[in-house]
Structures are given as C-alpha cells and as structure tokens.
Chains A and B, each alone.
Chain A
C-alpha cells in the first residue's frame, strides 16, 4: 500500500518560538506540509527556521548571520523590514508559501546535508548565549509519525458492549449455564486450547527475543511487532471472532508455528488500518475464547486482584467492566463475590477476568492474609444519587 509519508524530510531547527509555537510548528510541518520537513535539534539541522517577531527573534537572527552559518534560513515574519537575508515566509503562514520556502532551502543545499558548526566562541557568541539558551524548547525530541496516525484501528475508541449485545458479540457455551453457581466448576476454559494461548505464547517469545515474529496457523498469519507493541492481521473482525472462539484441535494445532519475520517482510508496506495494539488484540480474542467462562488457572474460591486499571478507551469494554475494575483494584475478591456485590451475572466477571489475565493485569492472590480476611462491603457514596444521574447522562451520550 502506498504511503504519502515524505521519505526524505528536510531537517529543520526552530528558533525564537515558545513551547506552544514550537509544538504547533512541528505539527504543522508534519501535517499540512505533509512531512516535507521535520524538527530536529540545532546540531543536526540542515535549515534553521526563525520567528522574527518573537521577543528574541531579531536578536537570534543577528547572532545567526554574524556566525556566517552556511545553513539556509527560513524567516517567519509579519513584515519585511530588515530581512534582506534568508527565505521569508509572510505571516500568517500559508502552506504553499512554506512548502515553497522548504523547496528553495532544499535547492540551496543542493541535496547535501550541511554539518552544523559548533557555536562560535568570543564576545558576540557569549552575549547571545543567554537568549539562545532561554529559547531552548522543553519539548522532547520526537518525530511525528503520520503513518502512526493512520493506524486507525490501533487508536480508535473502545467498543462498549451492554448486556443485550453481549451474547451476540461474545457468544455462549453450549451445555453449561455459567451463571449457575452449581455449574461454576464447569465454567472454566483453558486458553491454551484456543487461538488465545498460541498468541500469548508467540507474544512471549517475540518480546523475550525482541524480534518481529509471525504466528502461522494454516490461516492468515499474525505478524507481531514487539518494538511498537502492535500486531498486523489481514482478516475481518467476524472471521477472527469465529476463529478465536473455536477450540483448536490437534490437526490445526500441528499447523501452528512461530517463525521470525525476515527484515524484508518486517519493513514491507502494509495496510495501516490492519495494525492493532498487541494488548487490544489479545484482550479481544481472550473475550471470544472465554465466552463468559473464567480461565482454568483461576480458583474461583480464592480471591483475585487487579494490578491496575486496564486502558479501557482502547479495549473492548464488556458489560460492567469498569465497575468490576473499580472494585477489584481496591482489594482482592473472589469472582462470585464480585458478581454478588455488584449484583451482576457471573459471566460478566468471568469474561473480564479472562481478558485481564491475558494481559497479566489480574492474578490469583497468593498471600494467606488476603485469603483469610473477607473483603469489606462497599459503602455507597454519599452523593450516589448525583453520581447515578451523571452516569446515566454519560451513558446516554455515548458517541
């Protein structure tokens, strides 16, 4: 897939800009100017861009010209007075003017990078040192990846399921009523019997070796990129859901393998919309494997704890997941206790725990003290009526 990311952006340094202007300019070059230039620190810059109208702008420009730096200069200014040198872009800056100035600067460079001289010593440099230091941006140095922003699946808002949509989206297990306490013993599943287990294993290897890997399944391969914590899979959501919900038999299991991704394959251009975060992907397939059951590794008579809140804005939000997280992050509880305290069906607790365990966010309590002490009852907030009204308004306002 073709990408419009500029492969050879001009490296520019920004001068005379406060934090906000600096950041805005960096985004402007990356966005409207389509990455024709990228902001770097002064030493590595090929071109310097000055805001001549800032408090220190004129001073910085003078110091720059006095140094007789070979680097081309782009000057942003409201007026032309005193701007005989450099490539001027009139404010408010128009994209075509800026692109034209960038092209001219590139022409002046003749396609060669200019190595920046070290700051001149001497009286002049010494006098100018203070304002130059003062304008040093407090932003960290980063390159805005336009490709990253095009990975819409990775950054899209979470899908929130309610009780009505749960069955259709997550599915049910035939022959077991997971909500019947008498059948709790049968309401577990082993993630290793599902695609979830193979993905967890592939993630582990990929992360340990810090190497891009491919999970082959006799189906479409899952590409794993641990550097960016993302995966790539070219299948529709409905296909994935069906596959993730199937127990993998020995025939299919024998086709599963994890192989390193070659350098060529790792850097091949791909449909950016098919990238997903590793966490969001695993969370989702754990929900589909679970179908409202809990992982076999969890003893439901023993409390579980939640290490931290899941990043719910980027994960599939199952019914009551936020309430369950809020409760479990406070203190460990058994799964049936969570369902009882919140007055919800156990399947919602089970599916949440399955997903949270897959990311390593939830685990069984091992300390005896936590098992012996029964969790306290939850006290309603003194403003519960108000909080309920805010909540119902928010839930009615979902985007």
Chain B
C-alpha cells in the first residue's frame, strides 16, 4: 500500500506538533529533547527530529502526518521526508522577528516539492501579534508569483487545521466533493 503523507513545516514554535496533534487519530509520536528548565512549565520539550501522526481514512487506509524538525541543522532529513507527500502545510509564527524571511526560506527549501504538489500557509500567534496581516502575506506571495491559501490559524483548534488542509486538497482539485 502506498505511503500517503502530508508534510507540516515551519520555524521552531510555529505549532507543527500541536497542529498534527489536533487532527491525528493517534497521539503523535514525538522525538523531542528536553527544553530548558524555564520552558518546562509551558512546554517540556522541543522537537529535534520529527513529529508523526496518523489519520485513519475510510477503507482502512492511513494518511501519515509528518512534521519537520524546526532546527535547520536537521534539514538533511527534509528531502527524505517529502518523498511521496501530497502537499505541504507551512505554519508561520507571526511573533517572530521576520515571518516573511521564514516564509521565503521554507518556500525556497521546499520549492521542488511545492511545484509538483501544492502548499497551504497557516499563520499562528496572530492574537499575540496582529502584524504582518494576512493581506501583507498575500502581497509578498504575489511578488513571488504565488496565490496559495493563507489563513490565520490556532494550531490547537481542530477546525482551523482542518480548513487549512481542506484548502490544500481543493487547491489540488477544486472538483472534489466532500
């Protein structure tokens, strides 16, 4: 049976682990390292390898959900990870110093994969930092010749993550019927 997967990527702290957790049928398998003592009260670990979750599909098939590690030092894994993927979910943290730089970095890194599939972008932490706005992201993407879905996302909220993935699927095929 084929390995169907959706890849979640983005910088550290953008919510990849949480997003996978929101829609996975199994508790995600995490390969995390302990964070500093300070962070333990809020988040006990940070992902150093990858997150993994599963969505059980009708007919017994499984959709694998992979989260890339945030640290660039693991980028050698990304090519292996995207092999066979049906699309990319890029999560961006709006509180970071330069989310556009993050966006360009990940779009560049996954350029080949996105060209053959598609991408949907979720912007997290917009309740903490309202700028850049979603319109600002579209402006930047337009300059890159791209028109992907860009949604404000709370990675903890299943319907937000679900809508983002739905947009990914409809971009691949608007004729899909639910």
Question: Could you list which residues of chain A lie within 8 angstroms of chain B, going by C-beta atoms?
Answer: 17-21, 23-25, 27-28, 32, 51, 53-54, 76, 78, 91-93, 138-140, 142, 144-145, 148-149, 151, 155, 157-158, 160, 228-229, 307-309, 311-314, 317, 322-327, 329-330, 341-343, 378, 380-381, 383-384, 386-395, 397-399
> A145: which B residues are within 8 A, CB to CB?
128
In angstroms, how far is the closest chain A Cβ from the Cβ of B120? Answer: 9
Beyond A138-B97, A326-B170, A397-B158, 15 additional pairs, beta carbon < 8 A = A17-B38, A21-B39, A51-B36, A91-B38, A151-B127, A158-B159, A309-B149, A312-B167, A313-B164, A314-B151, A330-B174, A383-B86, A390-B63, A393-B63, A394-B165
B58 near A393 (CB under 8 angstroms)? yes
- Distance in angstroms between the alpha carbons of A93 and B40 in the assembled complex: 9
Complex contact A317–B163 (CB within 8 A) = yes
Report if B172 contacts A (CB, 8 A). Answer: yes
B111 at the interface (CB under 8 A from A): no
The answer to whether the Cβ of B46 comes within 8 Å of any Cβ in the partner chain is yes
B interface residue numbers (CB < 8 A to A): 4, 12-13, 23, 35-43, 46, 55-59, 61, 63, 86, 95-98, 126-130, 133-135, 138, 141-142, 147-154, 157-160, 162-167, 169-178
Contact A397 to B38, CB < 8 A, known contacts A157-B157, A389-B58, A391-B176: no
| Chain B positions within 8 Å of A148 at CB level | 127-128, 130
Q: How far is the CA of A25 from the CA of B40 in the complex (A)?
A: 11
In Å, the complex CA distance between A62 and B177 comes to: 65
Contact of B147 among A20, A21, A228, A309 (CB under 8 A): A309
Minimum distance in angstroms from B66 CB to a CB of chain A:
15
CA gap between A317 and B164 in the complex, in Å: 13
A-B contact pairs, 20 of them (CB 8 A): A20-B39, A24-B38, A53-B37, A92-B38, A138-B96, A138-B97, A144-B128, A160-B159, A311-B134, A323-B170, A323-B174, A326-B167, A326-B174, A378-B174, A380-B175, A384-B176, A389-B59, A390-B63, A390-B165, A394-B169
Q: Chain B residues with Cβ under 8 A from A329's Cβ?
A: 147
**B176–A155 CB distance below 8 A:** no
Is the beta-carbon distance between B39 and A24 smaller than 8 angstroms?
yes
* B4→A399 contact, CB < 8 A: no
In the complex, A139→B93 CA distance in Å? 11
Which A residue's beta carbon lies closest to that of B61?
A389
Give 5 nearest A-B pairs by CB, closest first. A381-B173, A326-B170, A399-B158, A326-B174, A327-B174
A-B contacts, CB under 8 A, total: 199
What separation, in Å, do the CA atoms of A309 and B121 have in the docked complex?
A: 11
A387-B173, A399-B159 given; A142·B128 CB < 8 A:
yes
Please determine whether B13 and A20 come into contact, CB atoms closer than 8 angstroms. Answer: yes
Q: Which residue of B lies closest to A77 (CB)?
A: B37
**Cα-based distance from A91 to B39 in the complex (angstroms):** 10
Establish whether residues B151 and A312, one from each chain, have CB atoms under 8 Å apart when the complex forms. Answer: yes
Given contacts A20-B12, A313-B151, A387-B86, contact A155 B126 (CB under 8 A): yes
Contact call A308/B174, Cβ cutoff below 8 A: no
Taking a contact as CB atoms under 8 Å apart, the answer to whether A92 and B40 are in contact is: yes
Which chain B residue shows the least CB distance to A311? B134
Nearest-neighbor residue (CB-CB) of A30 within chain B: B128
Q: Within the complex, what minimum Cβ distance (angstroms) separates B63 from chain A?
A: 6
- Report how far A341 CA is from B170 CA in the complex, Å: 14
